[in-house]
Amino acid sequence: MKKGILLALLLAIACNPIPKPTRAQLKWQEMEMNMFCHFGPNTFSGAEWGSGKEAEDLFNPTDLDCRQWAATAKAAGFGGILITAKHHDGFCLWPNPESTHTVAQSSWRDGKGDVLKELSDACREYGIKFGVYISPWDRNDPRYGTPDYNQAYARTLESVHDGRYGDIFEHWFDGACGEGPGGKRQEYDWSLFTGTVRRLQPSAIMFSDVGPDCRWVGNERGYAGETNWSTLSPEGFTPGAGAPPNDTLNCGNVHGTHWIPAEADVSIRPGWFWKESETPKIKSVDQLMDIYFGSVGRNAVLLLNVPPDTRGRIPEADSIRLMEFKARRDSIFGKEATDRFNIVCLREDISRGQRVAEFAVDAFVQGEWTEIAQGTTIGYKRLIKVPTVNSDKVRVRVIKSFGKPRLGKTSIYYAQD
């Protein structure tokens, strides 16, 4: 190889090191599971997407208790709560000076209520983190569809992120827009939006289809791809209609240019907002466990929606299910197996990037090593179910890796039935 070419190659490698998580992204990944709370006028109307024309008085929780949300989330093992501070209908759960469609215009608590204040205080009290979803698509704001809306939305962001609610661990930029062919078109100023959040809350993880800090997993069922790279190449894409295909979001891009790990969002009920009629359809513990293996167990963070009801409380049935889900996880992962196992947990030290592209797991059974599993990516955590093995010796063979593989702790567990 010519000297010049070699130098160019070395320079290229030095200038393009593999993407690595920031400290905030690492901490976020370690949270593993957060609780999503869809709450707003839709809770009272039964709609999933409000029109934006709902009377402010529709929002009228009879017994709001954000401490109960936080206590429930904490007991269920969630690291934080993320609330729909503003859904597509535009109604703001805090007195947003930018809007005339907020709690301040409602008769709830004589217009003096502030759900974000109560929830952020409760999260602090219970030692969990607080995050917000503020929908860019707004069916109420008359400025939507004009450049003025971008400025208004940025000021809306400021009114939540300026510190009055303390630290915010995650901000959700939902990409949905259902305006349809003849509807309003908004050219979003994404760099203004992300710049505003970054300036005011430098450690907040910003979610959208394409990051900048974490990405949508490509479905609303709570499952990441079996191959799941925490890297993505977002260049040329935007959230919403301009997003990469769902299967790309589901698996990430091998050699992606940026560290944008997957977040898997799913609701414990069929819908995102509470509806009495859906109480019999709360997901079973088996379904939740399958989602857990398909998200946290595939290198994603799980965002499980548990919607408060018209009282403003997490319903008893959902809360009981969460405790059962926690008990099942504890019974499996509370103690490592010593002589018999059916779950293997692999980890990569992702602080140096994600490297493993193919691996196999062997167990030492009756005097010899036998292959019991194989797969592609590992990432922060990879859970693999295997037929029950009588052994306490396991080895991991890295078959393909981009750079030197750096595995974390490998553990084995036993799940009954």
Positions in the binding site for ligand FUL (CB under 6 A): 48, 174, 176, 265, 272
Nearer to ligand FUL, 112 or 185 (CB): 185
Nearer to ligand FUL, 272 or 380 (CB): 272
Q: At 174, list the tokens.
A: 């939902």
Nearer to ligand FUL, 216 or 341 (CB): 216
Q: Is 274 in contact with 309 (CB distance < 8 Å)?
A: yes
Nearer to ligand FUL, 175 or 212 (CB): 175
CB nearest ligand FUL: which residue? 176
User: Please, what is the minimum distance in Å from the beta carbon of residue 170 to ligand FUL?
Assistant: 13
- Name which of 360, 363, 351, 362 is nearest 408 in CA terms: 351
Nearer to ligand FUL, 138 or 362 (CB): 138
Nearer to ligand FUL, 19 or 136 (CB): 136
Nearer to ligand FUL, 271 or 408 (CB): 271
Q: H or E segment at 325? A: helix 316-333
User: Please, what is the minimum distance in Å from the beta carbon of residue 251 to ligand FUL?
Assistant: 20
User: How many C-beta neighbours within 10 Å does residue 71 have?
Assistant: 17
Q: Is 221 left (phi over 0), alpha (psi -120 to 50) or beta?
A: alpha
Judged by DSSP in three states, 287 sits in helix
Q: What are the b/e assignments for 291-314, b being 16+ CB within 10 Å?
A: bbbbbbbbbbbbbbbbbbbbebbb
Listing DSSP states for 196-244 in one string gives: HHHHH-TTPEEEETT-SSEEE-SSSSS---SS--SEE--TT--SGGGSP
Q: Is 346 in contact with 384 (CB distance < 8 Å)?
A: yes
User: Please, what is the minimum distance in Å from the beta carbon of residue 174 to ligand FUL?
Assistant: 5
DSSP code for 18: P
User: Please, what is the minimum distance in Å from the beta carbon of residue 177 to ligand FUL?
Assistant: 9
Do you know the residue count of the chain?
A: 417
User: Please, what is the minimum distance in Å from the beta carbon of residue 190 to ligand FUL?
Assistant: 16
User: Please, what is the minimum distance in Å from the beta carbon of residue 172 to ligand FUL?
Assistant: 8
Backbone angles phi, psi at 374, to 5 degrees: -150, 160
User: Please, what is the minimum distance in Å from the beta carbon of residue 179 to ligand FUL?
Assistant: 12
- Complete edge-to-edge strand list for the sheet that includes strand 411-413: 382-390, 340-346, 411-413
User: Please, what is the minimum distance in Å from the beta carbon of residue 249 to ligand FUL?
Assistant: 13
Nearer to ligand FUL, 265 or 348 (CB): 265
